[in-house]
């Protein structure tokens, strides 16, 4: 009678559509974000080498005791990844929201990364 909407399939389709245009290079790697119900993850990836340069999440030792499902912690993850990127000499990135809406925790992570010194 009613068709069930598969949100995961929709997000995956959006992400593939976005990834056709977003490519991380050595000069400007890709800042990929993934959000689950309890945690948020961010990686800086060089797609030409196929390597993750820097990673941060709510599971890192610096943020281990905090709940990862809120905007304040997402902003701290953004600041943490910017700090780690600065240590590797990365200043400019391309933001890949992973098919997720740029709102809430995703936007807070991006804001934290910008405050930490990353440009995108």
Per-residue pLDDT tens, the chain, 120 aa: give them. 678 889 999 999 999 999 999 899 889 999 999 999 999 999 999 999 999 999 999 999 999 888 878 999 999 999 999 999 999 999 999 999 999 999 999 999 999 999 999 999
Residues near 95 by beta carbon (within 8 Å), at least 6 away in sequence: 30, 31, 33, 110, 120
Strand order through the sheet with 30-35: 51-57, 40-46, 30-35, 94-96
Residues near 4 by beta carbon (within 8 Å), at least 6 away in sequence: none
Question: Would you list the domain boundaries of the chain?
Answer: 22-115
Q: What is the pTM assigned to this prediction?
A: 0.88
Residue 87 has a pLDDT of: 96
Greatest C-alpha distance within the chain: 56
Residue 111 has a pLDDT of: 97
State the CATH architecture for 22-115: 2-Layer Sandwich (3.30)
Q: What is the CA radius of gyration of the chain?
A: 15
Find out whether 37 and 69 touch, Cβ atoms under 8 Å: yes
């Amino acid at each position: 009678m009613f068709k069930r909407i598969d949100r995961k399939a929709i997000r995956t389709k959006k992400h593939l559509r976005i990834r056709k245009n977003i490519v991380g290079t050595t000069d400007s790697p890709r800042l990929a974000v993934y959000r689950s119900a309890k945690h948020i993850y961010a990686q800086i990836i060089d797609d030409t080498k196929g390597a993750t340069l820097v990673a941060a999440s709510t599971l890192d030792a610096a943020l281990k005791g905090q709940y990862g499902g809120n905007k304040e912690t997402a902003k701290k993850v953004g600041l943490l990844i910017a700090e780690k990127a600065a240590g590797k000499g990365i200043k400019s990135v391309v933001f890949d929201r992973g098919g997720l809406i740029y709102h809430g925790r995703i936007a807070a992570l991006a804001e934290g990364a910008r405050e930490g010194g990353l440009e995108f």
